[in-house]
């Protein structure tokens, strides 16, 4: 998938070199930066980080799998994030999520086979006045319904086709 | 750069800043909190900048992008100062007219003013908007006035004066006694007296002590802390520095939710500026006291809102809680005495010190002092942040401030305290909001999430939603929480799928009680609350699901079906064409029929029908 930056060990080295000043507790900081760069944590990156920071791989893996912000799987080109916070839920987020899940043929947390879409949920974005909220590639859409979610997907898909 | 080395220098700086500003200068205040940003407020403020530059008015008219004003429902919100003209849902295209008509000519633009839905009257000034009128804004008071990225704005409004007073005029013990006497209790949920907690930490043995600001606001639907950090981060920092002085800590951490990028950014800028001005770092205001603050972004684990899990996370470990005692005040971060308070608690501290415990304790009820900020969300007309004195009633918040329920629907309940809390049914809305009264009702004050549910909310499904949430967020360390929440979720899921059995309710109650008593940390101990409180007040809904295979709110899909009212159907064919399951049939201009076997209950027909002919039963 060309849209995913290719894992590059030297980048991780650079990242770690900036952190080796004995600062307490920087493992999560490093993982966050790697996650931000690649949108997931490549296995080789975890090994490299563990070795150079002197942290057992089991601990690195534990941290990487405990927190929701980290993913061990690559994400799709387009990330559709449905807010399933309480406020969005009482305003009908469940129907919105079901509709998107149905149309993409994937469950939350999964990526379509062609690598185009990843469907995610988030516990609350704090944009409760606009609920239900869907975030497509970082752009917020509020007051969603099943029909509007379909329209949004059509727009994103149209971009996929023209790209 | 202006380094402030003494209290006198702070006074001089404030005087210079105040003198340099004309209070009567016209200013445009654009809300740039997360809610308004999503509605396009950044484009609006840019449009103002262009317009003022283009008209060469930028010298005469000030422009400030502020944090959250609180009235998120009507964003982007623009307030014109000093008159206080309040414009809502402002778009980029409205900007030239606002500048020309209101700023220059002083005329009010009717279509941008707020209409009070209760009276249908147009309201011109912010101070007359019922949403604001009935609030008591102490912590949020400056959110509409200051640029959170400019420390001088905060200093103009007496910022860091409390710090100066605490450091130079009070002993640490006196600061603690002041906070004790103010009656300030933790705003994160449990309501432990803040001053007592500080005293425990001060008295704990150890040279190295830490303080932490818990900004891992995890309850879905709650965003008070985010708005404080976005809108007035210096007030949080000032509270922390005072607390650190009182306790004897030289290092503080803010553990903040990563889903709040703007709050992280504003806080980062604030810490930097506070350092430059000399409020953080070495020898603060010449007192000899050193203190610095680091930001630690959380990585999306609800359990990290629990103090021992939070500390484990700062220590770079899996965020698992541990048994208490020892309490953090004795053995916390890296085994050192540590004091943790949440954002809103810290933000109250400068108020207590500046205006005194006596003043502060005059607000609120007998045992709950000060104000509390709620994020009022869900099925409510005026979604937003509401700050009221303790002791206000739920009905004041929901109806007088929140404007009631949209669509003329009936309010069923409010849910307080998120996944750890419970719901209060509408018949108890006259109860005063304080820690004890809410607890008696089976709910909690919580951190301030207030989710309003209308009559279309199925309380069983609502309870299932929370249980699903805590089950996923359970860290798995202790058995009652790990397996107990799963067992409760299974039963609730069965009930919402129409497969409930007699005895399920009693089983849920028994499980809930045991999980509450035997779990390791607050997450597990409170996890059953949403279920137990809905059983307490809405047992009939549980029974309808289990005994009659009926979802009274028409939410649980296996218990409802869709059909077409032959009298209302015009046979237009719209639903037939749109149905993704091809479950609808019927001749043109004849009533259509839904084939129940094929129907996938996606509700497309309900959405597209223009004649309200699709019926849910």
Q: What is the ipTM of this complex?
A: 0.87
Residue B396 lies in a domain: yes
What mean pLDDT comes out for the span B535-561?
96
Minimal Cα–Cα distance from A28 to chain B, Å?
6
Residue B1 lies in a domain: no
More confident site: A15 or B175:
B175
Q: Which residues on chain A place their C-beta less than 8 Å from a C-beta of chain B?
A: 24-29, 31-32, 59, 62-63, 66-70, 84-87, 89-91, 95, 98-99, 102, 122-131, 133, 140, 142, 145-147
B73 Cβ contact list (under 8 Å, min separation 6): A129, B381, B382, B383, B384
CA atoms of B306 and B401, how far apart (whole Å): 31
Chain A nearest-CA residue for B224: A126
**Stretch(es) of chain A classified as CATH 3.40.30.10:** 78-162
Residues of B in contact with A26 (CB under 8 A): 316
If asked whether residues B418 and B473 sit together in one domain, one would say no
pTM of the model: 0.93
Minimal Cα–Cα distance from A160 to chain B, Å?
23
Residue B492 lies in a domain: yes
Does the pLDDT at position A138 exceed 90?
no
pLDDT digits (tens, 9 = 90+) for B472-498: 999 999 999 999 999 999 999 999 999
CA atoms of A140 and B261, how far apart (whole Å): 14
Are residues A96 and A82 in contact, defined by beta-carbon separation less than 8 angstroms?
yes
Residue B443 lies in a domain: yes
Q: What is the mean pLDDT of chain B?
A: 95
Which one of B330, B361, B392 terminates a domain? Answer: B361
SS3 call for A123: coil
Residues of A in contact with B451 (CB under 8 A): 86-87, 90
B504 Cβ contact list (under 8 Å, min separation 6): B491, B494, B495, B542, B546
Residues of A in contact with B580 (CB under 8 A): 102
Residue B144 lies in a domain: no
Minimal Cα–Cα distance from B598 to chain A, Å?
16
Minimal Cα–Cα distance from B70 to chain A, Å?
10
CA atoms of A17 and A26, how far apart (whole Å): 12
Tally the domains of chain B. Answer: 5
Residues of A in contact with B377 (CB under 8 A): 86-87, 128-129, 131
**So what's the pLDDT on residue A2?**
44
If asked whether residues B357 and B444 sit together in one domain, one would say no
Query: A129 and B72: CB-CB below 8 Å?
Result: yes
pLDDT band at residue B313 under the 50/70/90 scheme: very high
If asked whether residues B271 and B160 sit together in one domain, one would say yes
What mean pLDDT comes out for the span B558-563?
94
If asked whether residues B201 and B162 sit together in one domain, one would say yes
Strands, E assignment, B447-592? 449-454, 562-564, 584-585
If asked whether residues B343 and B294 sit together in one domain, one would say yes
**So what's the pLDDT on residue B552?**
96
If asked whether residues B282 and B231 sit together in one domain, one would say yes
More confident site: B340 or A122:
B340
CA A16 remoteness from chain centre: 23
Are residues B122 and B114 in contact, defined by beta-carbon separation less than 8 angstroms?
yes
Which one of B431, B454, B477 terminates a domain? Answer: B454
Residue B500 lies in a domain: yes
Percent of chain B with pLDDT over 70: 100
Helix %, strand %, coil % for chain A, to 5? 50, 10, 40
What would the CATH number be for the domain defined by A78-162? 3.40.30.10
What mean pLDDT comes out for the span A116-145?
90
If asked whether residues B351 and B400 sit together in one domain, one would say no
If asked whether residues B337 and B376 sit together in one domain, one would say no
Query: A128 and B223: CB-CB below 8 Å?
Result: yes
pLDDT digits (tens, 9 = 90+) for B109-120: 999 999 988 888
pLDDT digits (tens, 9 = 90+) for A29-88: 889 889 888 889 999 999 999 998 889 999 999 999 999 889 999 888 899 999 999 999
Cβ–Cβ pairs < 8 A, chains A and B: 134
**So what's the pLDDT on residue A1?**
42
Residue B414 lies in a domain: yes
If asked whether residues B182 and B261 sit together in one domain, one would say yes
Query: B299 and A128: CB-CB below 8 Å?
Result: no
Residues of A in contact with B452 (CB under 8 A): 90
**So what's the pLDDT on residue B595?**
95
Query: A128 and B604: CB-CB below 8 Å?
Result: no
Q: In what order do the strands lie in the sheet with B27-31?
A: B62-66, B27-31, B78-81, B85-87
Rg (CA), chain B: 27
pLDDT digits (tens, 9 = 90+) for A91-106: 999 999 999 999 999 9
Query: B73 and A129: CB-CB below 8 Å?
Result: yes
If asked whether residues B489 and B405 sit together in one domain, one would say no
* Structural domain boundaries, residue B607: 561-616
Continuous H helices in B423-478: 435-440, 459-473
Residues of A in contact with B301 (CB under 8 A): 66-68
If asked whether residues B389 and B407 sit together in one domain, one would say yes
Among B593, B588, B605, B442, smallest CA distance to B513 is for B442
Minimal Cα–Cα distance from B402 to chain A, Å?
12
Please, what's the b/e burial string for B198-223 (b: 16 or more CB within 10 A of its CB; e: otherwise)?
A: bbbbbebeeeebbbbbbbbbbbbbbb
Residue B584 lies in a domain: yes
CA atoms of A79 and B123, how far apart (whole Å): 41
A 10 A CB-CB count for B482 gives: 16
Residues of B in contact with A123 (CB under 8 A): 218, 220, 259, 300, 302, 469
SS3 call for A70: coil
Query: B301 and A102: CB-CB below 8 Å?
Result: no
Residues of B in contact with A67 (CB under 8 A): 298-301, 319
pLDDT digits (tens, 9 = 90+) for B391-411: 999 999 999 999 999 998 999
Residues of A in contact with B75 (CB under 8 A): 129
Chain B nearest-CA residue for A68: B300
Chain A nearest-CA residue for B381: A129
Which one of B334, B361, B388 terminates a domain? Answer: B361
For residue B576, the domain's CATH number is 3.30.70.20
For residue B93, the domain's CATH number is 3.40.30.10
If asked whether residues B315 and B379 sit together in one domain, one would say no
pLDDT digits (tens, 9 = 90+) for B269-297: 999 999 999 999 999 999 999 999 999 98
């Amino acid at each position: 998938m060309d849209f995913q930056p290719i894992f590059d060990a030297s980048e991780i080295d650079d990242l770690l070199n900036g952190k080796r000043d004995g600062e307490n507790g920087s493992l999560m900081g490093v993982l966050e930066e790697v996650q931000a760069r690649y949108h997931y944590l490549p296995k080789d990156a975890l090994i490299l980080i563990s070795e150079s920071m002197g942290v057992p791989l089991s601990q690195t893996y534990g941290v990487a799998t405990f927190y929701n912000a980290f993913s061990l799987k690559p994400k799709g080109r387009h990330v559709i994030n449905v807010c399933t916070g309480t406020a969005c839920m009482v305003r009908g987020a469940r129907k919105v999520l079901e509709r998107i899940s149905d149309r993409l043929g994937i469950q939350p947390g999964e990526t379509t086979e062609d690598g185009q879409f990843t469907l995610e949920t988030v516990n609350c974005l704090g944009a409760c006045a606009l609920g239900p909220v869907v975030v497509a590639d970082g752009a917020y859409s509020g007051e969603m319904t099943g029909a509007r979610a379909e329209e949004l997907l059509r727009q994103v898909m149209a971009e996929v086709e023209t790209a | 750069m202006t380094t402030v080395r003494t209290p006198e220098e702070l006074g001089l700086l404030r005087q210079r800043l105040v003198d340099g500003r004309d209070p009567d200068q016209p200013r445009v205040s654009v809300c740039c909190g997360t809610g308004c940003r999503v509605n396009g407020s950044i484009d609006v403020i840019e449009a103002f900048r262009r317009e003022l530059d283009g008209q060469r008015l930028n010298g005469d008219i000030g422009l400030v992008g502020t944090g959250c004003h609180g009235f998120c429902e009507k964003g982007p919100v623009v307030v014109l100062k000093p008159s206080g003209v309040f414009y809502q849902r402002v778009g980029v295209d409205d900007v030239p007219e606002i500048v020309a008509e209101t700023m220059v000519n002083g005329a009010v633009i009717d279509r941008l003013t707020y209409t009070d839905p209760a009276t249908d009257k147009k309201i011109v000034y912010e101070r007359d908007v019922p949403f604001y009128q009935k609030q008591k804004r102490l912590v949020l008071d400056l959110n509409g006035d200051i640029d959170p990225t400019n420390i001088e704005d905060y200093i103009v409004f007496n910022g860091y004066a409390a710090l100066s007073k605490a450091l130079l005029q009070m002993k640490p013990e006196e600061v603690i006694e002041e906070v004790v006497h103010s009656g300030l209790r933790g705003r994160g949920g449990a309501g432990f007296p803040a001053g007592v907690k500080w005293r425990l930490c001060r008295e704990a043995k150890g040279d190295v002590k830490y303080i932490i600001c818990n900004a891992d606001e995890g309850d879905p639907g709650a965003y008070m802390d985010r708005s404080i950090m976005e809108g007035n981060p210096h007030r949080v920092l000032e509270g922390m520095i005072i607390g650190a002085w009182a306790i004897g800590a030289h290092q503080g951490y803010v553990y903040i939710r990563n889903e709040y990028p703007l709050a992280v950014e504003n806080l980062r800028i604030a810490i930097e500026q506070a350092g430059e001005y000399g409020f953080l770092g070495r020898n603060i205001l010449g007192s000899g006291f050193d203190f610095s603050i680091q930001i630690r972004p959380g990585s999306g684990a609800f359990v990290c809102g629990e103090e021992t899990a939070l500390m484990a996370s700062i220590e770079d470990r899996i965020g698992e809680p541990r048994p208490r005692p020892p309490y953090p005040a004795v053995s916390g971060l890296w085994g050192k005495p540590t004091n943790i308070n949440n954002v809103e608690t810290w933000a109250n501290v400068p108020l207590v010190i500046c205006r005194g415990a006596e003043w502060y304790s005059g607000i609120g009820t007998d045992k709950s002092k000060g104000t509390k900020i709620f994020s009022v969300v869900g099925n409510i007309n005026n979604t937003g942040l509401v700050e009221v004195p303790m002791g206000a009633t739920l009905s004041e918040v929901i109806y007088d401030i929140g404007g009631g329920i949209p669509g003329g629907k009936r309010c069923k309940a409010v849910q307080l305290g998120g996944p750890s809390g419970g719901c209060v049914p509408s018949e108890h809305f006259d109860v005063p909001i304080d820690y004890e009264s809410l607890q008696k009702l089976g709910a909690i004050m919580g951190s301030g999430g207030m989710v309003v549910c209308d009559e279309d909310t199925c309380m069983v499904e609502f309870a299932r939603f929370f249980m699903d949430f805590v089950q996923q967020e359970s860290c798995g360390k202790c058995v009652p929480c790990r397996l107990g929440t799963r067992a409760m979720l299974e039963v609730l899921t069965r009930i919402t799928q129409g497969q409930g059995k007699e005895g399920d309710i009693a089983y849920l109650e028994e499980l809930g009680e045991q999980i509450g008593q035997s779990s390791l940390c607050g997450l597990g101990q409170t996890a059953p609350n949403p279920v137990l409180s809905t059983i307490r007040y809405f047992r009939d809904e549980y029974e309808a699901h289990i005994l009659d295979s009926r979802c009274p709110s028409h939410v649980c899909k296996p218990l409802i079906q869709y059909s077409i009212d032959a009298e209302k159907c015009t046979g237009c064919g719209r639903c037939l064409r749109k149905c993704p399951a091809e479950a609808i049939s019927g001749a043109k201009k004849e009533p259509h029929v839904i084939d129940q076997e094929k129907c996938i209950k996606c509700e497309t027909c309900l959405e597209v029908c223009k004649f309200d002919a699709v019926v849910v039963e």
